[in-house]
Structure 1
Amino acid sequence: MKRASIVLEEYDPSWPSKLEDERSRLIAIAGEWCHGGIEHESPLWNERIKFRNFLSLDERIASDYARLKRDLATYHQQDRETYFGFK
């Protein structure tokens, strides 16, 4: 099995609208089989949202976290499991 590389991207302000476009396409394709919409509602997702919001409150912490992610991506570029484990 081929391992996927770690690729980090700078934030793109168009991502929220792209998410909505993708959601609309998925509902158009799978609408009759999709009951209750397409949403991320889970304890893990909620924790990720809380973490994102926490980072937005402190630029220094957000910068440190971004640096950590870049360093980990460099050292573990071909090993996603290790990258996510350290992150």
Structure 2
Amino acid sequence: MVDQQDNNQETPMHLVCHNGYMEAVSLLHEFGARLDILDEEERVSLHRAASEGQTAVVRQLVKWDKRLMVHKDEHGNTPLHLAAEYGKGLCYE
């Protein structure tokens, strides 16, 4: 249930990462939510956090799974690309 996808293939983890809800991110992870599920744009939760400048969430996700940093979406963008594209400089420090 923690990995249930909506019509856009987004999971609860995608949504809380996008909005920077760190407590919810931790709680979902504690209950076994996967970090590598793809949404309709082939983005993982780290893409969502990075594109919104959610620095604390980005750091925690990378701590849990460094492999997320190299995942490319349907356009070939890594989370770092999205952080830079959307001007979220703190995320790529």
- Greater C-alpha radius of gyration: 1
What is the TM-score with the length of structure 2 in the denominator? 0.22
TM-score (norm 1): 0.23
Report 1 or 2 for greater relative contact order, CA contacts < 8 Å, sequence distance ≥ 6.
Answer: 1
